[in-house]
Amino acid sequence: MLLDNETHTQLVTLRQDLHRHPEISGHEQATSDRIATFLENHAPDELHRNLGGYGVAAVYKGKVPGPGVLIRCELDALPIEELNTAPYRSTIAGKGHLCGHDGHMTMVAGLAALLQRSRPAIGRVILLFQPAEETGAGAKAVIEDPAFAALKPDYAFALHNLPGMPLHHVGLKSGPFNCASQGLWITLTGKTSHASNPEDGQSPALAMCDLIKAFTLLPQDHDFKGEFALVTIVHARLGEEAFGIAPGFAKLMVTLRSETDQIMQLLQEKSRHLIEQISKDHQLETAFGYDDIFAASTNDPDASEQLLQVFEAEEIKHHPMTSPMRWSEDFGQFGQICKSAMFTLGSGLSQPQLHNPDFDFPDELIETGCRIFHRVIRNILGPSN
């Protein structure tokens, strides 16, 4: 075992404490404080606070200059009511660590305990606890923070636990790893009237129906040339809940998803054309915009090979991936400034899916995550003794 019993117990306690006190994207102040306190007790050479919001980074330096290796995890929880009955279940109504970010943080915190005892031989390790991953805003905000310039790494690594994969098994592929996604909202404004005289108003009902049909069929457009593109209708609202009112307003929300940023750009162009054409056909005022913007996450070949060597050395069962994960990750932003790679770590075949109200990160994964990250650090930067 890489972690001694006392350290492992401390980390389980930390994980369950983080689980009790979830905070959603952009509001992770208390979580940031808990992490900073833990890191301060493990003697980093540098501790940076408030990166891109409430981000925290601990730096452990080798004896001589060399590459920088960043290990990234996420601070934020989800606005979902937890249904677990564990004694450490969420104490905050309507919020829960139901994606496993509490476990990811704990693994990276475990590296601080290991690095306190044995620094790398060369270079430096940056342990980054990133805010606002769930909204896609956090990684970009951290990278654009002026204070991050001094921390810019040569390599960046991250993981995400994956229900449905056997416990402790890993998944990895070079190239596209997480899909790009964007949330598109559209409003259609006509004119309200009495339901007995709908001809006196201008209802957006038919326009909304046309949009729903058009977006449903959009991925079949021949311009995508067989590339993966997905449009999901996630919300539709027409008028008010009143039998006496013919509607004058509608709102539609869809999620656009693709394996590459190039196909995402084409999805945006096609979407804009649909909105403009349909609103013109029905003579309605239209507005639209984007939220929760995630670039595609692409694994660098060299960084991916570093992870493959670790899996082999640690005798961890590896499942080669043939296609990217459909869900999105803002970790892809780090791939624009350094060699980066993310992998999945199985959290059990019977584990509830991510973002489910009964999800709970398995504490037995803490050791596995620490082993993988610690080995990749040693492989690149060397042991100090």
Condensed to tens digits (0 to 9), the pLDDT of residues 155-194 reads 999 999 999 999 999 999 999 999 999 999 999 999 999 9
Assess whether 123 and 41 both reside in one domain: yes
Pairwise CA distance, residues 195 & 107, whole Å: 59
Question: For residue 381, what pLDDT band results from cuts at 50, 70 and 90?
Answer: very high
Assess whether 15 and 126 both reside in one domain: yes
> By residue range, what is the domain housing residue 359?
5-178+296-381
Q: In three state form, how does the secondary structure of the chain look?
A: CCCCHHHHHHHHHHHHHHHHCCCECCCCHHHHHHHHHHHHCCCCCEEEEEECCCEEEEEEECCEEEEEEEEEEECCEECCCCCCCCCCCCCCCCCECCCCHHHHHHHHHHHHHHHHHCCECEEEEEEEEECCCCCCCHHHHHHHCHHHHHHCCCEEEEEEEECCCCCCCEEECCEEEECEEEEEEEEEECECEECCCHHHCECCHHHHHHHHHHHHHHHHCHHHCCCCEEEEEEEEEECCCCCCEECCEEEEEEEEEECCHHHHHHHHHHHHHHHHHHHHHHCCEEEEEEEEEECCEEECHHHHHHHHHHHHHCCCCEEECCCCECCCCHHHHHHHCCEEEEEEEECCCCCCCCCCCCCCCCCCHHHHHHHHHHHHHHHHHCECC
Assess whether 195 and 324 both reside in one domain: no
Assess whether 10 and 133 both reside in one domain: yes
Assess whether 166 and 203 both reside in one domain: no
Assess whether 21 and 99 both reside in one domain: yes
Mean pLDDT confidence for 345-372: 97
284, 336, 342: which is closest to 157 by C-alpha?
342
| pLDDT above 90 coverage of the chain, percent | 98
**Which token pair is 271?**
């979407």
pLDDT recorded at residue 83:
94
Assess whether 65 and 12 both reside in one domain: yes
pLDDT at 131 over 90: yes
Assess whether 55 and 106 both reside in one domain: yes
Assess whether 13 and 151 both reside in one domain: yes
Condensed to tens digits (0 to 9), the pLDDT of residues 16-46 reads 999 999 999 999 999 999 999 999 999 999 9
Q: Which residue among 294, 327, 352 closes a domain?
A: 294
Total domain count for the chain? 2
CATH number of the domain enclosing 365: 3.40.630.10
Condensed to tens digits (0 to 9), the pLDDT of residues 63-120 reads 999 999 999 999 999 999 999 999 999 999 999 999 999 999 999 999 999 999 999 9
Assess whether 129 and 209 both reside in one domain: no
Q: Which residue among 294, 329, 350 closes a domain?
A: 294
pLDDT recorded at residue 1:
87
249, 83, 268: which is closest to 180 by C-alpha?
268
pLDDT at 385 over 80: no
Assess whether 264 and 285 both reside in one domain: yes
